[in-house]
Structures are given as C-alpha cells and as structure tokens.
Amino acid sequence: MFGDCLRGLHMRAVLKLGGSLLYDDTGQILTDRVRAYAKVVNSFVEDGHSMVVVVGGGKPARLFIAAARELGASEAQCDWLGIKIARNNAELLCAALGNIAYPKIVETLDELETAICPGNVVLMGGLTPGQSTNAVAALAAETVQADMLLNATNVDGIYDRDPKETGAKKLDNVTVDELSQILSGTGTRAGEYKLFDPVAIRVVGRSRIPTVIFNGNDPENLLRIVKGENVGSRIVHEPDK
Ligand code: UTP
C-alpha cells in the first residue's frame, strides 16, 4: 500500500510516538531511543517528504495525573497535565532533530497547517482535553491530508482481544468497526486511553486514513513500513458503496 507512495513526489506522514517508548520502567528517559527516532525521521524527510510527529505522555504523564487526581484535580485538569507533558516529550525529539524540526511545538491544528512544508518535521504533544495523543495524530493526519498514519506503540499491533490473554491473535488487517468493537470498554479517563480512543477511531474512519499500528521498540520498523513491508496491523477501509 505505502510502497506506491514512495514513487510520488512529496509524501506526508504522521507518526504517533507512544510516550511509553521513551521511558524505562524506572522512569528514566531513553535518550538513545529519542536519538534513534531522530535518525529514522531524518532519513524519511531528507528526500523532500514531510512528517508530523505526535509524541505521547508516557510514564511521567501517568505519574502526574495519578498524583493530581489524588489531590482533587478535575478530569480536565488531569488531561491538561498530560497535554503539557506530551509537549515536553516532543521537545526532546525536537532537540535531537536539530534544524530539520520546526522550532516550536505546535499547539493547534491551524498552526500545523502553516508549519508543515517539504523536508521538515513538525512536532506536537497534546491538543485538548477528553482525548489522547492518538486523536491528535488522527486529526493531524486529516489536517495535512497525510498519505499515512504510523502508530508506534509497545505492542506488535492490534489483537483480537487483550494481548495478555492466552490465545490472543494479532490481526494483520482490521476494519474501523472491528477496531471499535475490540477496544470498546477501554478507559476514557485522563491517562487511561488505550491504543485508539473514540475520537481517533472516528477521524481515521471518516477520512479513510491509511493507518498502521506497529511495535515502536525497533525504530527501523518505521522505514520498513514506508518501504511497503508487512509490519504490525493495518486499519483497512471498505471500498466506497
Ligand atoms: P497519551 O495517553 O496519549 O500518552 O497522553 P501516551 O503516552 O502516548 O499513551 P501511550 O503510551 O501511547 O498509550 C497522555 C494523557 O494526556 C491527556 C490524556 O489524559 C492522556 O491520557 N491528553 C493528551 C489530552 O487530554 N488531550 C490530548 O490531546 C492529548
């Protein structure tokens, strides 16, 4: 599917980088991982393509949200903590990317439209309460009419049930309806959104955004997907009726 895009002149991709990929179990920042992502992103855009990278909140977002909730914060206040921490995580990648990155973490979709141009990388964290950074990535992909949305997470793809359950099977292709079904009943409180929240699913579905969910522990997977290799799970869209 994406191999064909490579033959186009200028490709636009959105990468969602799960915050969990940037921290170890003790909460230390994995600077080598940030550097490795800067390298693969750079090799994607150096041919004149452009990329929006939306970075998630990860462990620090969950820690701050849990503490704030215990201290009496509202869900919206907790969400704002996650939004800001995701933006701080995006600053780390911005630092590693150097001058190919738009120098400011973009905070609105309006700003995104003016920031994106061939050969550059635009970074985002959170946008607005009530959603996750997966929704930000889907909205960014819709806004820039991205050729692909690549979702780097810490699992190999979409499973037919909780991947921790015995017998769970990874799906190579999944429709938006199947994805909604599989993820129904997952959390909707600050810090608890799972792979795809309802906003992300709706936006990917309505704009038929070609999407791949893959294991981001190996940053090279990003380049494999762009070359058309079969990695992770693809969200497929039914042909128009
Ligand atoms: P995420 O849950 O999206 O971070 O954002 P994450 O680390 O990427 O998640 P994984 O690791 O991929 O699963 C952290 C929190 O920030 C708030 C939400 O509370 C979210 O749980 N947030 C983020 C918003 O409220 N709005 C946004 O637009 C983005």
Region 149-154: what's the mean pLDDT? 96
Burial 114-144 (b: 16+ CB within 10 A, else e): ebbeeebbbbbbbbbeebbbbbbbbbbbbbb
Question: Which protein residue has the closest C-alpha to ligand 1 atom 12?
Answer: 18
How large is the average pLDDT for residues 7-14?
A: 80
Q: 122, 112 in Cβ contact below 8 A?
A: yes
Q: Which CATH architecture has domain 2-236?
A: 3-Layer(aba) Sandwich (3.40)
Q: Which of 72, 145, 55, 153 is nearest to 106 (CA)?
A: 55
- Report the predicted TM-score, pTM, of the whole model to 2 decimal places: 0.93
pLDDT category, 172, cuts 50, 70, 90? very high
75 C-alpha to ligand 1 centroid (Å):
13
| Cα 201 to middle of ligand 1, angstroms | 15
Q: Return the pLDDT at 192.
A: 65
> Can you give the residue ranges of every domain in the chain?
2-236
Q: How far is the CA of 56 from the centre of ligand 1 (A)?
A: 6
Cα three-residue angle 81-206-187, rounded to 5 degrees: 35
Residue of the CA atom closest to atom 16 of ligand 1: 82
**Ligand 1 mean position to 175 CA, how many Å?**
23
Of 75, 87, 54, 67, residue with least CA distance to 190: 75
DSSP-H helix ranges across 71-197: 75-97, 109-115, 133-143, 176-183
Percent of residues in the chain assigned helix, strand, coil, to nearest 5: 45, 15, 40
| pLDDT tier for residue 163 given thresholds of 50, 70 and 90 | confident
Supply 200's token pair. 């992300």
pLDDT(27) > 90: yes
What residue's CA is closest to ligand 1, atom 15?
A: 82
Distance 82 CA to ligand 1 centre (A): 6
The model's pLDDT over 33-85, given as tens digits with 9 standing for 90+, comes to 999 999 999 999 998 899 999 999 999 999 999 999 999 999 999 999 999 99
Q: Tell which residue, 236, 201, 203, 232, has the closest CA to residue 215.
A: 232
Residue 7 binned pLDDT confidence (cut-offs 50, 70, 90): very low
pLDDT score recorded for residue 238: 80
Taking the C-alpha atoms of residue 136 and residue 80, their distance in angstroms, rounded to an integer, is 14
Rounded distance, CA 198 to CA 138, Å? 11
Determine the Cα–Cα distance for residues 241 and 235; give it in Å rounded to an integer: 18
Query: Which of the four pLDDT bands, split at 50, 70 and 90, describes residue 3?
Result: very low
Backbone angles phi, psi at 96, to 5 degrees: -70, -25
Average of per-residue pLDDT values in the chain: 92
- Over residues 184-215, the pLDDT tens digits come to 866 667 666 677 888 999 999 999 999 999 99
Res. 15: pLDDT tops 60: yes
Ligand 1 site residues (CB inside 6 A) read 18-20, 56-58, 61, 78-79, 82-83, 86, 126-129, 131-133, 135-136, 153, 190-191, 193
Question: Ligand 1, residues 79, 93, 132, 217: which to mutate, most atoms within 8 A of Cβ?
Answer: 132
What's residue 240's pLDDT? 60
Q: Average pLDDT for residues 216-230, to the nearest whole number?
A: 95
pLDDT (mean) for 165-171: 89
**Distance of alpha carbon 95 from alpha carbon 118, whole angstroms:** 20
